[in-house]
Protein backbone atom coordinates (compact mmCIF):
# COMPACT_ATOMS: atom_id res chain seq x y z
CA UNK A 1 0.00 0.00 0.00
CA UNK A 2 1.74 3.14 -1.23
CA UNK A 3 -1.09 5.54 -0.53
CA UNK A 4 -1.65 8.39 1.86
CA UNK A 5 -5.34 8.96 2.55
CA UNK A 6 -6.96 12.11 3.87
CA UNK A 7 -10.45 12.77 5.17
CA UNK A 8 -12.59 14.65 4.56
CA UNK A 9 -12.03 15.72 0.97
CA UNK A 10 -13.92 18.95 1.50
CA UNK A 11 -14.76 20.82 4.69
CA UNK A 12 -16.76 23.99 5.22
CA UNK A 13 -16.72 25.43 8.71
CA UNK A 14 -17.65 28.56 10.56
CA UNK A 15 -15.19 30.56 12.59
CA UNK A 16 -16.56 29.17 15.87
CA UNK A 17 -16.52 25.51 14.83
CA UNK A 18 -14.11 22.80 15.92
CA UNK A 19 -13.18 20.23 13.31
CA UNK A 20 -10.39 17.76 12.61
CA UNK A 21 -8.55 16.67 9.50
CA UNK A 22 -7.28 13.11 9.36
CA UNK A 23 -4.40 11.49 7.53
CA UNK A 24 -3.36 7.83 7.37
CA UNK A 25 -0.52 5.90 5.78
CA UNK A 26 0.50 2.22 5.96
CA UNK A 27 3.91 2.39 4.32
CA UNK A 28 5.79 2.16 7.60
CA UNK A 29 6.95 5.75 7.25
CA UNK A 30 8.03 7.39 10.50
CA UNK A 31 7.90 11.02 9.35
CA UNK A 32 4.58 12.74 8.67
CA UNK A 33 3.85 16.30 7.62
CA UNK A 34 1.11 18.88 7.33
CA UNK A 35 1.27 21.50 4.60
CA UNK A 36 -0.98 24.41 3.74
CA UNK A 37 -1.36 25.42 0.11
CA UNK A 38 -3.09 28.49 -1.22
CA UNK A 39 -4.22 28.70 -4.83
CA UNK A 40 -1.38 28.97 -7.37
CA UNK A 41 1.24 28.84 -4.59
CA UNK A 42 3.63 26.10 -3.46
CA UNK A 43 2.90 24.08 -0.32
CA UNK A 44 4.01 25.68 2.93
CA UNK A 45 5.21 23.41 5.70
CA UNK A 46 3.23 23.61 8.95
CA UNK A 47 4.32 20.67 11.11
CA UNK A 48 6.64 17.68 10.99
CA UNK A 49 6.32 14.59 13.16
CA UNK A 50 9.21 12.21 13.42
CA UNK A 51 8.70 8.91 15.27
CA UNK A 52 5.41 10.28 16.60
CA UNK A 53 7.08 13.32 18.15
CA UNK A 54 6.62 16.86 16.93
CA UNK A 55 9.98 17.88 15.51
CA UNK A 56 9.12 21.01 13.53
CA UNK A 57 6.47 23.65 14.08
CA UNK A 58 6.79 26.41 11.54
CA UNK A 59 5.34 29.12 13.81
CA UNK A 60 1.80 28.03 13.07
CA UNK A 61 -0.99 29.81 15.00
CA UNK A 62 -2.35 27.87 17.97
CA UNK A 63 -5.76 27.56 16.31
CA UNK A 64 -4.10 24.68 14.42
CA UNK A 65 -3.23 21.78 16.73
CA UNK A 66 -1.53 18.66 15.35
CA UNK A 67 -1.70 15.22 16.89
CA UNK A 68 0.04 11.96 16.02
CA UNK A 69 -1.79 9.13 17.85
CA UNK A 70 0.42 6.42 16.32
CA UNK A 71 2.90 5.87 13.51
CA UNK A 72 0.16 5.56 10.88
CA UNK A 73 -2.15 8.41 11.81
CA UNK A 74 -1.85 12.17 11.82
CA UNK A 75 -4.59 14.59 12.80
CA UNK A 76 -4.92 18.33 12.51
CA UNK A 77 -7.41 19.86 14.95
CA UNK A 78 -8.95 23.14 13.91
CA UNK A 79 -10.56 25.70 16.20
CA UNK A 80 -11.61 29.33 15.78
CA UNK A 81 -10.21 29.57 12.27
CA UNK A 82 -10.23 32.70 10.16
CA UNK A 83 -11.41 33.05 6.55
CA UNK A 84 -7.78 33.48 5.47
CA UNK A 85 -7.14 29.93 6.68
CA UNK A 86 -9.16 28.64 3.73
CA UNK A 87 -6.76 26.53 1.67
CA UNK A 88 -5.86 23.02 0.57
CA UNK A 89 -4.33 21.11 3.49
CA UNK A 90 -1.96 18.39 2.44
CA UNK A 91 -0.60 15.52 4.47
CA UNK A 92 2.58 13.71 3.48
CA UNK A 93 4.80 10.95 4.80
CA UNK A 94 8.33 9.74 4.21
CA UNK A 95 10.91 7.34 5.54
CA UNK A 96 12.94 9.00 8.23
CA UNK A 97 16.59 8.08 8.43
CA UNK A 98 17.65 10.09 11.42
CA UNK A 99 20.46 12.39 10.42
CA UNK A 100 20.73 10.72 7.05
CA UNK A 101 19.85 11.65 3.46
CA UNK A 102 16.42 12.99 2.95
CA UNK A 103 13.89 10.92 1.01
CA UNK A 104 10.94 11.66 -1.19
CA UNK A 105 7.59 12.48 0.35
CA UNK A 106 4.32 10.80 -0.49
CA UNK A 107 1.34 13.15 -0.48
CA UNK A 108 -2.32 12.61 0.16
CA UNK A 109 -4.99 14.19 -2.08
CA UNK A 110 -5.62 16.97 0.40
CA UNK A 111 -8.59 18.46 2.23
CA UNK A 112 -10.12 21.56 0.67
CA UNK A 113 -11.03 23.75 3.65
CA UNK A 114 -13.34 26.74 3.44
CA UNK A 115 -13.82 28.95 6.50
CA UNK A 116 -16.89 31.15 6.41
**Segment 54 to 83, residues that bind another protein, using CB under 8 A:** 55-56
Question: 21 vs 40, 41, 62, 97, 100, CA distance in Å?
Answer: 22, 21, 15, 27, 30
The CA-CA-CA angle for residues 86, 76, 47, to 5°, reads 90
Nearest-angstrom CA–CA distance, 57 and 4: 21
User: Closest separation between CB of residue 83 and another protein, Å?
Assistant: 19
- Name which of 57 and 82 has its Cβ closer to another protein: 57
Asked if 103 interacts with another protein (CB under 8 A), we say yes
Closest of 71, 109, 77, 79 to residue 91, by C-alpha: 109
Nearest-angstrom CA–CA distance, 71 and 90: 17
Contact string (CB under 8 A) for another protein, positions 25-54, x = contact: ------x-x------xxxx-x--x-x----
User: Closest separation between CB of residue 2 and another protein, Å?
Assistant: 11
Asked if 23 interacts with another protein (CB under 8 A), we say no
Q: Residue numbers of the site for another protein (CB under 8 A)?
A: 4, 6, 31, 33, 40-43, 45, 48, 50, 55-56, 88, 90, 92, 96, 99, 101-110, 112
Amino acid sequence: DTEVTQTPKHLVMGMTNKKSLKCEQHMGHRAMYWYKQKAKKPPELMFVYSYEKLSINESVPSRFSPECPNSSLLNLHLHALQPEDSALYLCASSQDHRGGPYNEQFFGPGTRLTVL
